[in-house]
Structure 1
Amino acid sequence: MGLQWTVILLLKMTLTGLSYGIVGGDSTSSKRHAVKSIQSDDGDIVDCIDIYKQPAFDHPALKNHIVQVCLLSMLLIQMSPSYDPTMDTTATRTKRSTDRKEDSSVTVTSQLWKRNGSCPRGTIPIRRIRKDLLKSKLSNSTENYGRKKPRLFHHIAQLNDNATSNLQQANHSLAILLTEGYSYSGGKGDIKVWNPFVETDDEYSTSQVALQNGPYYDYESVESGWAVNPRVYGDRKTRLFVYWTTDGSKTTGCFDLTCPGFVQTSHEIALGAAIYPISSSTGLPYQITIFIFKDPNTGNWWLQYGEKINIGYWPSDLFGTLKNNAETVQWGGEVYSSRVGKHPHTATAMGSGHFPDYISGNSGCVKRLRVRENSQELKFPEWVYAYSDEYDCYDVFYLGDYIEDPEFYFGGPGQSYKCP
């Protein structure tokens, strides 16, 4: 009986410790639990939170983690992948070395807040959310804060290629390169970093790598890249993001740590923090390297940033079909606006705001496109298809001929003489 009451007491203590509620609470909730707080030059406040008190474990599917705390006095967090994802075959390693010598872009791993401090090991950096964003009418409710609005289906003419017949959806405009036909356990790419114009506060523009599975109306997805998203972040800075959903964003999923789900393990990177520096048409090109891969032993989907930092993972318990594998890998851009496909069209830009430009490179771009299928080897996909919902607004260009390693260019200005 004594042990039973001890377990119950520990469970209550654990639930109290974990349920600090970044979403649904107030702007000071993370501050109360911070081991350390860092003021960023861009106005952000980053709180260093004990890794065992992060919001991920409030998710119903992860309550087993909390029970493990009580019984074992430790949290069952996978602190690192069970294998080194950078250790590929000799051919792949040689190819990667060649890529680095020929690539004129500079890989970015820095964030502005790190200029003023760092979080100690055993904590994770969490960007503090402003109270006014949680209560904004754009969020509808705190439960919906941080979640994409669903890609509601609208009738379109059947396209000749079945692979693209289910992609066009209302209020979202995609310009992507996709591959399917195999079981995928990883997707990777070097994404050029820009700061596109976003017209209104309820719109956003992202460039990302995404792995998806499941039925059309309720697809499951894990995504990461950069975003300009005023509704979530309160400004128009370019920020690193992660995203997940298990039902096409109707009721599940969110950006970053704004809801329980993603388990962060790194003390070096703050999700939702501003990326620095940013590419410009007259300056140096900068890129981020995103690698999403499934751990073959645990089934968790890991996120690696900048070739070396394992930020954390989406636990396999979150998913249904995606627990086993992904059916498609996608690279490219997405714009959300209620004026997508309408007149006047939104002026929210994708990529750099320029249409695909493989000559100067001053557009959205993804290089070193890689997938992982059944083996651990990273390789270029067997088959790819470039697709855009609105070619006159956001176009695509796949450069696959006369080049050693194919590249994908995408983007556009939105509203223009071509896209009235």
Structure 2
Amino acid sequence: MGGEFVLSKPRNGIKCRRFDRCNTMRQTETELFSEETRERRRGRRRRINGSFFLDMIIFFRPCFSNFLFLSLFILSSSSSSSVLSTETENLSPRNQTLRPLEELNKLKAINQHLRKINKPSVKTIHSSDGDIIDCVLSHQQPAFDHPRLRGQKPLDPPERPSGHNTRGLRPKSFQLWRMEGETCPEGTVPIRRTKQEDILRANSVSAFGKKLRHFRRDTSSNGHEHAVGYVSGEKYFGAKASINVWAPQVQNQYEFSLSQIWIISGSFGNDLNTIEAGWQVSPELYGDNYPRFFTYWTNDAYQATGCYNLLCSGFVQTNSQIAIGAAISPSSSFKGGQFDITLLIWKDPKHGNWWLEFGSGILVGYWPSFLFTHLREHASMVQYGGEVVNSSPFGAHTSTQMGSGHFADEGFTKASYFRNIQVVDWDNNLVPSPNLRVLADHPNCYDIQGGSNKAWGSYFYYGGPGKNPKCP
């Protein structure tokens, strides 16, 4: 038809005898024909247009598939990361939800870090408190990732300081993971396994397992508050004390409460060297409120070096019975039974490494001397006591407790204590701490009182409740 208009003859061979009748018939047939033509044209256009879009879909199908896959992937990532967003929003101090790609990158970094610090184990122990303890071959522990230690093995025990007695607590009776008789085989070290949720509680992967920089004794800087006994002015080669263990209440997961020994050298600037050991309650680091045995070290005032426990290459563990970072049990009770742990840190006169002993002659391990600058020689200060983080929640002082949560003047069975406080001198002798002085940053919140007697030697009581009517 080609779109050309043609007037057809009347149907059934009927001739038009009258003009008006014939004209009416022609007009009717013309209208019918025109309608049929329009319908056919519309159908043709539909077929053409349909074919065109079909061809376009076929032509662009690969791109469309990729686009569809990308859309589904983004939707899936958004859905799966919503849980992480909620979790990190609750856990992050900034309450900041990351975008999906950033969340995926963060999880990737976390898993990579977990593979680095969680070493293959020859035995795995599940503790009643939820910890997983991996028995790792001693030469495969994280310390031997350090370039200076790679390919080596732990050193043999050094000479103990003279005057050191062997009376004390057996390690099997103070950590929960050993309560059911579980042990790690000889030649292995027990390491608390780090989980993904442990790192998610930290501000970042790089901040996990580290203290925030804060160290200064003459000011209350950055919310860290102390009640300590200390000695200074001489050369010190170690320290020893029995530390009363409690389970203080910590107000939120971004705060902690600890009691420890500090071995210190250098200024309180960027060159500060410290070795630390004691017990702590840290919901952010461990995810609970158990008091836990811990170690720490730094050689640059907590800036880039050092970490808690075995969370970086540094401290070399030599003991198969004690897990650093594991929960301590039992702990002391108010007006009830008292429980303390004895710790000794000293510098090996022969090799210069700093060793840690727990209780009755049980060597835990050592910090290699090359980790440090000033502490390669000796310490210039030793401190003993408590520390808390005060994040000033809701604009008020924290209610996080130090020690037992009671002030020093309440005394035995109520306040926390350090007793038999000693130092190691230049000739590797344990001697009473000379001129032990005491200091509390905020005595209305946490205080300290010292003393001396024949049974306890040099000692002090310390601690407090934090927020109270006298604590601003």
Query: Please, what TM-score do these two structures have when normalized by structure 1?
Result: 0.81
Letter in 1 for 2:187: G
CA distance in 2, matches of 1:77, 1:413: 42
- Deviation of 1:133 (Å): 1.7
- The corresponding residue for 1:201 is 253
Determine if contact 1:23/1:259 at 8 Å carries over to the other structure.
no
Q: Does 1:239 align with 2:292?
A: yes
CA distance in 2, matches of 1:267, 1:331: 27
Match of 1:79 among 156, 160, 167: 156
Tell me the SS of whatever aligns to 2:285. helix
Tell me the SS of whatever aligns to 1:133. helix
Letter in 1 for 2:469: Y
CA distance in 1, matches of 2:357, 2:456: 25
Q: Does 1:345 align with 2:432?
A: no
- The corresponding residue for 1:157 is none
CA distance in 1, matches of 2:157, 2:437: 33
Match of 2:223 among 171, 196, 208: 171
- The corresponding residue for 1:135 is 200
- The corresponding residue for 2:469 is 417
CA distance in 2, matches of 1:350, 1:319: 30
Match of 1:145 among 204, 208, 212: 208
Which structure carries more helix by proportion?
Answer: 2
TM alignment of 1:183-194, pairs within 5 A: 183-194=235-246
Q: Rg larger in 1 or in 2? A: 2
TM alignment of 1:255-274, pairs within 5 A: 255-274=308-327
- Deviation of 1:247 (Å): 1.2
- Deviation of 1:30 (Å): 6.7
- Deviation of 1:27 (Å): 5.5
CA distance in 1, matches of 2:123, 2:424: 38
Match of 2:175 among 91, 107, 111: 111
- The corresponding residue for 1:366 is 418
CA RMSD across the alignment: 2.5
- Deviation of 1:362 (Å): 1.6
CA distance in 2, matches of 1:305, 1:23: 32
CA distance in 2, matches of 1:269, 1:241: 11
Match of 1:122 among 165, 176, 187: 187
Distance 1:121 1:256, change over 3 A: same
Letter in 2 for 1:347: S
CA distance in 2, matches of 1:404, 1:267: 31
Q: Does 1:55 align with 2:131?
A: no
Instruction: Name the stretch that deviates more: 126-135 or 41-50.
Output: 126-135
Q: Does 1:37 align with 2:124?
A: yes
CA distance in 2, matches of 1:335, 1:404: 26
Deviations 1:85-108 (A, max 9, x none): 3xx24xx76xx98xx8xxxxx787
- Deviation of 1:143 (Å): 1.7
- Deviation of 1:351 (Å): 0.3
Distance 1:336 1:394, change over 3 A: same
CA distance in 2, matches of 1:202, 1:26: 21
TM alignment of 1:192-341, pairs within 5 A: 192-218=244-270, 219-339=272-392
Match of 1:65 among 138, 149, 165: 149
Determine if contact 2:259/2:387 at 8 Å carries over to the other structure.
yes
User: Higher relative contact order by CA 8 Å / sep ≥ 6: 1 or 2?
Assistant: 1
Determine if contact 1:354/1:362 at 8 Å carries over to the other structure.
yes
- Deviation of 1:124 (Å): 0.4
Count residues in correspondence.
362
Determine if contact 2:170/2:360 at 8 Å carries over to the other structure.
no
Distance 1:412 1:286, change over 3 A: same
Determine if contact 1:107/1:286 at 8 Å carries over to the other structure.
no
Distance 1:23 1:278, change over 3 A: farther
Determine if contact 1:205/1:349 at 8 Å carries over to the other structure.
yes
